[in-house]
Amino acid sequence: MARARSVYRCAECGHEHPKWAGRCEACGAWNSVAEERLAATPGPKRSGAGGRRAVPGGPATVRALGDVGGERLLRWPLGIPELDFVFGGGLVPGSMSLVGGEPGIGKSTLLLQAGARMVGGGHRVLYASGEESAEQIRLRADRLAEDASGVLVLGETHLETVLAATREVNADLLILDSIQTVFTDTLESAPGSVGQVRESAALLMRFAKETGVGVMVVGHVTKGGMQAGPKTLEHIVDTALYYEGEPSLNYRLLRATKNRFGSVDELGVFSMTERGLVGVPNPSALFLEARSASTSGSAVTALMEGTRPVLVEVQALAAPSGYGTPQRVATGLDPKRLAVLLAVLERRAGHSFANLDVFVQVSAGVKLTEPGADLAVAAALVSSLTNRPTPADALFLGEIGLAGEVRPVGGVDRRLAEAGRLGFRRAFGSGRHAGAAGLTNVALDHVDELIHALAA
């Protein structure tokens, strides 16, 4: 007789343990392992690595790769250019996407807008919500610039019911808000538990592949990491988008961290208005909007966000530290990278930040993940220390090594073209960056030369 079986799964990495453990043996996270009870009835397929097929497989079609049709992927534009861009050109039918982000960031708003645009393009869209009633969704829809009246809505948390409704109304796109609020009959655990989230995602993925319906799922991510998590879903879905941004600022950054049908790390920028989200076609201008070129401690660099160059401002403030150990606060960059740059400036360029509190931040909640931004961070630090603004028309581009050497970065042409478009005239960086049209290269081979160039 079939009996209820349990596995113990880590909420962080999804690793399965035969019994409960205080610490995950795979990823080392504490208190992340939770019991997951499998339903007593023998299901069609178990989730996870231990899954066994209950029935022998049917006949399979194996082909040589050369015989596989090379038709171009069909895509449905979602009608919001910034969103389509992050997706790699639109939604692929039969694909499943995850839109993750903190509560209140605007996930439901964005997907409802996309749904409304899809309906406008002649598609059938079902918006199923386990978070809000149809009335609440209507209230949101009434605020939007788009006409969402043709979007079909369903307030439901039972996944099998949602899928049946999707088939019944013959929808092209299913929007499910959110994966943490639905449950499937296959598992006994509560909605939102790791097991439910994973099993629901697997079920949705199979549904998308079988029916050709595009599925977009909302996943909540909390500040401290995640609530039964989008991270564990990332390897299941075709496309994983993350939505970020300071809730207090009205712009939002959307980024693909995984995309089976396009490139990753593409950045889409939106501003949250009274009437929904509006794409920002020119993020560099927005990010530099608040910049005051006559204030010290500011430097501009060009980052490659996916395939697109984006200009951002780095701000630094060095101030006498009142007591004890000076503070080092880095927002938008790795504190360790800041420590390295401070040490290099001290030892290789004779600029000491001892006894000074140092604060560094990046405009618009953007994160500096590439070393090419080093030179801008160093320039902002030196500018704050010497209380001399960096030149208003100067862009800083370069990686700094431990010996203080300035190294070239990749994608220079596109970065400099973007800077030129926004009125920058000089590019401080490695001499090897020379040659871009419109910008004068101010060659620096060592941070020492940066100090001289800024003092000039």
Q: Give the interface with ligand TYD as residue ranges (CB under 6 A).
A: 101, 103-109, 140, 143-144, 272, 274-276
Q: Name the H helices within 42-87.
A: 81-87
Residue 332 contact among ligand TYD, Mg ion, none, beta carbon within 5 to 8 Å by kind: none
Q: Please state, as a whole number, how many other Cβ atoms lie within 10 Å of the Cβ of residue 23.
A: 13
- For the bound state, the minimum distance from the C-beta of residue 154 to Mg ion, rounded and expressed in Å, comes to 15
Judged by CB under 5 A, does residue 180 bind Mg ion? no
CB of 218 to Mg ion, least distance (A): 6
CA distance 375 to 444: 10
Is 315 among the residues that bind Mg ion (CB under 5 A)? no
Q: Which residue lies nearer to ligand TYD by CB, 271 or 386? A: 271
Tell which positions 54-113 bind Mg ion, by CB under 5 A.
Answer: 108
45 contacts which partner out of Mg ion, ligand TYD, none, CB within 5 to 8 A by kind? none
Nearer of residues 244 and 370 to ligand TYD, judged by Cβ: 244
Rounded least distance, CB 410 to Mg ion, Å:
38
What backbone phi and psi angles, to 5 degrees, belong to 20?
A: -65, 145
Burial status of residue 160 (CB atoms within 10 A of its CB: 0-12, 13-18, 19 or more): middle
Q: For residues 43 and 103, which CB has a smaller minimum distance to ligand TYD in the complex?
A: 103
Cis amide linkage into residue 178, ω under 30° from 0: yes
The sheet that has 33-38: what strands, in order across it? 16-17, 5-10, 33-38
Shortest approach of ligand TYD to residue 140 CB, angstroms? 5
- The residues, any chain, with a CB within 8 Å of residue 275's CB and separated by 6 or more, are 143, 144, 145
- CB burial readout 31-48, b (16+ within 10 A) else e: ebbbebebbeeebeebbb
Tell me the two tokens of residue 278: 């509006």
To the nearest whole angstrom, how small is the minimum distance from the Cβ of residue 107 to Mg ion? Answer: 5
Nearer Cβ to Mg ion (100/262): 100
Tell me which of Mg ion, ligand TYD, none is bound by residue 195, counting a contact when its beta carbon lies within the kind-specific cut-off of 5 to 8 angstroms. none
Residue 388 binding target from ligand TYD, Mg ion, none, CB below 5 to 8 Å by type? none
Which of the listed partners (Mg ion, ligand TYD, none) does 284 bind, with a CB threshold of 5 to 8 Å by partner kind?
A: none
Q: Are 167 and 208 within 8 A, CB to CB?
A: no
Q: Which of 18, 52, 45, 48 is nearest to 33 (CA)?
A: 18
Nearest-CB residue for Mg ion: 108
Beta carbon nearer to ligand TYD, 156 or 418 = 156
Q: Which is nearer to ligand TYD, 107 or 348 (CB)?
A: 107
**C-beta of 178: minimal distance to ligand TYD in Å?**
8
